[in-house]
Amino acid sequence: MRRDIFQAIADPTRRAIIALIAIQAMTPNAIAEHFDTTRQAISKHLRILTECELVKQEQQGREIYYQLEIDKMKEIDKWMEQFRKIWESRFQQLDQLLSTIKKNK
């Protein structure tokens, strides 16, 4: 089943996993050490992230390492860009309003 990337990042644990493996590739056991949950729960989160193609697996000897898929993160960033422009515009309007109020005092 292919999941939506926004469904994947909606969960705080999955966002934390993304933040961890953004720094370096990690094994499921290494990831699980950072959470107060079962190894099975971490495996489920990793499966969802893999299905969404936000992370990829790489076999190194007997270990599987998970690493972030940067191109998928760019897809999220592209979607967020529309809101970033709105926020920046509103902050500029607020700055102008505050400057006007300050001048009138």
List the domain boundaries for the chain: 1-68, 70-105
DSSP annotation string for the chain: -PPPHHHHHTSHHHHHHHHHHHHS-B-HHHHHTTSSS-HHHHHHHHHHHHHTTSEEEEEETTEEEEEE-HHHHHHHHHHHHHHHHHHHHHHHHHHHHHHHHHHH-
At 39 the pLDDT is: 92
pLDDT band at 13 (very low <50, low <70, confident <90, very high): very high
pLDDT average, residue stretch 60-78: 90
With 80 as the cut, is the pLDDT of residue 90 above it? yes
With 90 as the cut, is the pLDDT of residue 85 above it? no
With 80 as the cut, is the pLDDT of residue 2 above it? no
CATH number 1.10.10.10 is the correct assignment for the domain at 1-68: yes
16-66 pLDDT tens trace: 999 999 999 999 999 999 999 999 999 999 999 999 999 999 999 999 999
More confident residue, 79 or 67: 67
